[in-house]
A and B are shown apart, each in its own frame.
Chain A
Amino acid sequence: MAVYQRSFEPYAGPLTQPAWRFLVLVRYALRDLFKSKLFTVFMTVCLIYPLLSVFAIYLRHNADLLANLATAGIEIEEWMPIDETFFGVFMRVQGMLAFFLVLFSGPRLVSRDIANNGLPLYLCRPFSKTQYVAGKLGVLLILSSAVTWIPGLLLWALQTGLEGSAWGAANLRSAVALVIGSWVWMVVLGLFALAISAWVKWRPLAGFALLLIFFGGVFFARAVEILFNTNWGYVLDLHHTIRRIWADLFATPAPFFFGRPLDLPIWSAWVTLALLVAVSLYLLSRRIRAYEVIS
């Protein structure tokens, strides 16, 4: 009987803990994204509004300026209040920018792996479907966080520092709303973008599909309004839905449309988003698999 000397030596070094393994995908995806100059420029543009907000808060607390403005008869407290409306507007502006960030970066995340039969390479290793989705979603969450709740909370902290802790306590709701509102938007947007990316191979088409679904809903809602004389069509207008939730979180008036408020019950907005998340997870579970299907 032939006896073979065992010369193979398996890798015996340290391994990344399973709980953090998804971050490998995040790291490489972010590095890939920031290779694009256009993306880097857009990311920078996304931080302009927070910088302007910092400037506004600074002006609001500049004693010399306030004195000069008071001399000129301008009461800046009335003209530019730092309150729930200020943070609500911040949320809306940065939320939309987060949408465009996801539009830019989301469609390529899964489609590229599927188009190049790359999924088996990930999933034939000790790396689960959940970890894969977490890794891809992590990319979008990090990018969106960088333009939504993180600068928002910094602004809130700055204002609290300058105005005093009493202001912070009175406006705690804005801070909580910033965090919850951002995370809801980021998770919904991220999962849906990944689901689209998993089903639409060509990146631009995936981008168009995202645009259509987020901004085309208003046309559907309008058709329902014309035919049935009801506002209920707007529950499928995702842009309106998220604005309705933000308005509720920040305790600001319901969003206006065609010059009138659309006061649909808040639960309907939450149900819409919950359904969208469920559909996205289902679509992802169908498509993320460790084998290639030849039809």
Chain B
Amino acid sequence: MSEAAGSTGNTLDGRLALRQLVGTMRLDLRRSMLSPRSLAVYFLAFAPLALVGVWALTPFPTDEFDGPQDGSMVFTVLFQLYIRVSVFFSGLFLFVSLYRSEILERSLHYYLLTPIRRELLALGKYAAALIAAAATFVVGTTAIYLTVLSPWGTAAMTNYLFSGPGLANLIQYLITVVLGCAGYGALFLLIGVLFRNPVLPAAALWVWEAANPLLPSFLKHLSVIYYLQSLYPVPLARGLFEVVGDPAPMWASIVGAIVFITFVLGVASWRVRKMDLAYGGE
């Protein structure tokens, strides 16, 4: 008899759990990376690259910019828009539909008929979508960053990256974008399992995040964008789209994000465990 078939005890065998997690991620990764909605994610991640590419190829008055460090400033403002639109909506498209799309396709029962704890199933599905989103946005962010630095030539760019703060900044942006995917992803997973029609809660979340600059200081702390902005290596200039407020320490942002994601996944798992599967008319 094979190993999996023999594991029927109450205690969750760690190795078995890991194999089940990997099995779930394997199935869901294909769904997150190759389904029609992943095209929307790729568009959101790479459309800004096309825009920046045109900018990089267009001659501009060099006296307005001192060099790659100024390009980096431009990137910071663009990155804010990238997080607010591309990352936000990609998270929405990928994570809200983790369960709902399978209910629509009438294929969720295949998962629910396997001997996997539903908490583990939720984690596996979340992890697969996160890997898909994070990989896409890490590539997108890196490509946009390098394209923004490219007009000053390879030598200046290399110098800025490896002898200046360029590479450290890039790594910090990448951490931010991954945490953005993780944070928004966890929220959208929760919205997806709690609400049959998630349009209103998702729209409310967007308004909340967008209204962050207008909120009192203590309410600012209750938004994802606040913690993400605290991770930016280059401070933002003040403006209508930019969050104004005391940034949280970097460690607090990262630890807070992890605690928050764990909590949200816990609630989502509890909801999924109690869920009745009914393929009604969606």
| Chain A residues packing against B (C-beta within 8 Å) | 103, 112, 115, 201-205, 207-209, 211-212, 216, 219-220, 222-224, 226-228, 258
Task: Give B243 Cβ to nearest chain A Cβ, in Å.
Answer: 15
**Is B89's CB under 8 angstroms from A208's CB?**
yes
**Is B101's CB under 8 angstroms from A202's CB?**
yes
Task: Give A96 Cβ to nearest chain B Cβ, in Å.
Answer: 13
A interface footprint on B79-98 (CB within 8 Å = 1, 0 otherwise): 00100110001001100110
Alpha-carbon separation in the docked complex, A212 to B84 (Å): 11
**Is A223's CB under 8 angstroms from B81's CB?**
yes
Q: Which of B85-140 contact A (CB under 8 A)?
A: 85, 89, 92-93, 96-97, 100-101, 104
Alpha-carbon separation in the docked complex, A204 to B200 (Å): 9
Alpha-carbon separation in the docked complex, A207 to B37 (Å): 14
Counting contact residues on chain B (CB < 8 A from A), the size range is 20 to 34
- Could you say which of B58, B74, B92, B197 contacts A203, with CB atoms under 8 Å apart? B197
**Is A222's CB under 8 angstroms from B93's CB?**
no
CB neighbours of A209 from chain B (8 A): 40
**Is B199's CB under 8 angstroms from A208's CB?**
yes
Q: Judge if B233 is at the interface, Cβ distance under 8 Å.
A: no
**Is B97's CB under 8 angstroms from A216's CB?**
no
> Are A219 and B199 also in contact (CB < 8 A) when A224-B51, A228-B58 are?
no
**Is A228's CB under 8 angstroms from B282's CB?**
no
A interface footprint on B51-92 (CB within 8 Å = 1, 0 otherwise): 110010010000000000000001001100100110001001
- Could you say which of A112, A202, A211, A224 contacts B100, with CB atoms under 8 Å apart? A202
**Is A226's CB under 8 angstroms from B77's CB?**
yes
**Is B199's CB under 8 angstroms from A204's CB?**
yes
CB neighbours of B199 from chain A (8 A): 103, 204, 207-208, 211
**Is A205's CB under 8 angstroms from B97's CB?**
yes
A interface footprint on B190-207 (CB within 8 Å = 1, 0 otherwise): 000000011100110010
A interface footprint on B163-200 (CB within 8 Å = 1, 0 otherwise): 00000000000000000000000000000000001110
> Are A216 and B85 also in contact (CB < 8 A) when A203-B197, A227-B51 are?
yes
A interface footprint on B251-282 (CB within 8 Å = 1, 0 otherwise): 00000000000000000000000000000011
Residue of A nearest to B37 (CB): A205
CB neighbours of B55 from chain A (8 A): 227-228
Task: Give B281 Cβ to nearest chain A Cβ, in Å.
Answer: 8
Residue of B nearest to A112 (CB): B281
> Are A219 and B84 also in contact (CB < 8 A) when A202-B282, A209-B40, A227-B74 are?
yes
Task: Give A6 Cβ to nearest chain B Cβ, in Å.
Answer: 41
Residue of A nearest to B77 (CB): A226
- Could you say which of B48, B97, B100 contacts A223, with CB atoms under 8 Å apart? B48
Alpha-carbon separation in the docked complex, A211 to B88 (Å): 13
Alpha-carbon separation in the docked complex, A201 to B97 (Å): 12
Task: Give B215 Cβ to nearest chain A Cβ, in Å.
Answer: 20
CB neighbours of A228 from chain B (8 A): 55, 58
CB neighbours of B197 from chain A (8 A): 203-204
Alpha-carbon separation in the docked complex, A203 to B240 (Å): 32
Task: Give B252 Cβ to nearest chain A Cβ, in Å.
Answer: 28
CB neighbours of B92 from chain A (8 A): 208
Residue of B nearest to A210 (CB): B199
Task: Give B98 Cβ to nearest chain A Cβ, in Å.
Answer: 12
Q: Judge if B241 is at the interface, Cβ distance under 8 Å.
A: yes
Residue of B nearest to A259 (CB): B240
Alpha-carbon separation in the docked complex, A228 to B61 (Å): 11
> Are A204 and B96 also in contact (CB < 8 A) when A219-B85, A228-B55, A228-B58 are?
yes
